[in-house]
Amino acid sequence: MGCAERHFPAVSGERRVSGWGGARRGRGGRRRRWQPAGTHAAPRPAWPAALPPLGGDGTMPFDFRRFDIYRKVPKDLTQPTYTGAIISICCCLFILFLFLSELTGFITTEVVNELYVDDPDKDSGGKIDVSLNISLPNLHCELVGLDIQDEMGRHEVGHIDNSMKIPLNNGVGCRFEGQFSINKVPGNFHVSTHSATAQPQNPDMTHIIHKLSFGDTLQVQNVHGAFNALGGADRLTSNPLASHDYILKIVPTVYEDKSGKQRYSYQYTVANKEYVAYSHTGRIIPAIWFRYDLSPITVKYTERRQPLYRFITTICAIIGGTFTVAGILDSCIFTASEAWKKIQLGKMH
């Protein structure tokens, strides 16, 4: 016996269907699955509007945004706190302070020194220029002379080239200014009365040294060397008949600026002694001796500026490191405060 066919009343806009598993067509001719009365079908999910369109062959095109490692978090999912605000302000101020410090260091020229063994000024012909300025307030100018001698056999008495004598105290004293050259071998030059036509009975060698320098004059703010170590030496209160020995150790010095230009000068250390010297005839003939020797060590000063790539690297390290440490600190404080709140709520219950 065949199964009887049930008939349901037709609904406006729908066709009559037969059987429980039949389908019905809605308005517009679209076929829909029948559902019992009182039930509602779950809504079909909508397609995301931001998805890229499919290609002509139905494949998904390449999305360049998948390389984004800095994914954005909506503001609704973040929670501001007073502690985080304080840490953020302190973090920004700290970064600003470090940035200004690094910027100052980047702009400022740095002077780096190094030591090496060599003769830096090989084009000088084995000579060193010397500048001497000395005052003898109790010795007449006609008695003052400069003598030069060294181990290469040079012995010059009464050097007068590029020198000048200025009377002091109405002709009683004398100021000697001279520029001369010495060989790069141990030797000495001295101010004395040896070149005078007649030796005085009691020559007074009390003096003031205004300047004694070797090589070019370096006036660089960042270099504090002993280029004029005897400048300002005052021996006015010493024994008038005493001789003075200044033992100099000359150190070659090179200064190279940012453009690569080099200037050659010499620093020196000094030791001195005072004594009374007698000649073979028994007379006292004082003098002011400058005995020198050269050091094999050369000092080189070089102007340098911090490279741009190092400055950028330092700034990135400052910003990244500060934000990382501040984030860790803020996270620890927030976690501790939340845990404390949970403990307090547990005690209340």
> Is residue 267 included in any domain, yes or no?
yes
> Is residue 187 included in any domain, yes or no?
yes
199-247: pLDDT as tens digits: 888 899 999 999 999 998 887 777 778 899 999 999 999 999 999 999 9
> Is residue 274 included in any domain, yes or no?
yes
Count how many domains the chain has.
Answer: 1
DSSP for 187-256, please give it: EEEEEESTTSSS--SS-----EEEEEEEESPP--TT----TTTTTTEE-TTS-TT-EEEEEEEEEEEEEE
Question: What mean pLDDT do residues 54-66 have?
Answer: 70
SS3 assignment, position 133: strand
> Is residue 213 included in any domain, yes or no?
yes
End-to-end CA distance of the chain: 72
SS3 assignment, position 55: coil
> Is residue 26 included in any domain, yes or no?
no
> Contact 276/238 with Cβ under 8 angstroms?
no
> Contact 312/99 with Cβ under 8 angstroms?
no
Domain that holds residue 186: 116-304
> Contact 197/153 with Cβ under 8 angstroms?
no
pLDDT band (50, 70, 90) for residue 185: very high
Question: CA-to-CA distance for 181 and 165, rounded, in angstroms?
Answer: 18
> Is residue 32 included in any domain, yes or no?
no
301-338: pLDDT as tens digits: 998 888 899 999 999 999 999 989 998 998 899 889 88
For residue 171, is it left (φ>0), alpha (ψ between -120 and 50) or beta?
A: left
Question: CA-to-CA distance for 160 and 113, rounded, in angstroms?
Answer: 38
Question: CA-to-CA distance for 189 and 289, rounded, in angstroms?
Answer: 6
pLDDT of 52: 56
Lowest mean pLDDT among 56-70, 113-127, 266-280, 297-311: 56-70
> Is residue 66 included in any domain, yes or no?
no
> Is residue 183 included in any domain, yes or no?
yes
pLDDT band (50, 70, 90) for residue 93: very high
pLDDT of 3: 42
Q: Over 60: is that where the pLDDT of 49 sits?
A: no
- As separate numbers, helices (DSSP H) first and strands (DSSP E) second, the chain gives 2, 15
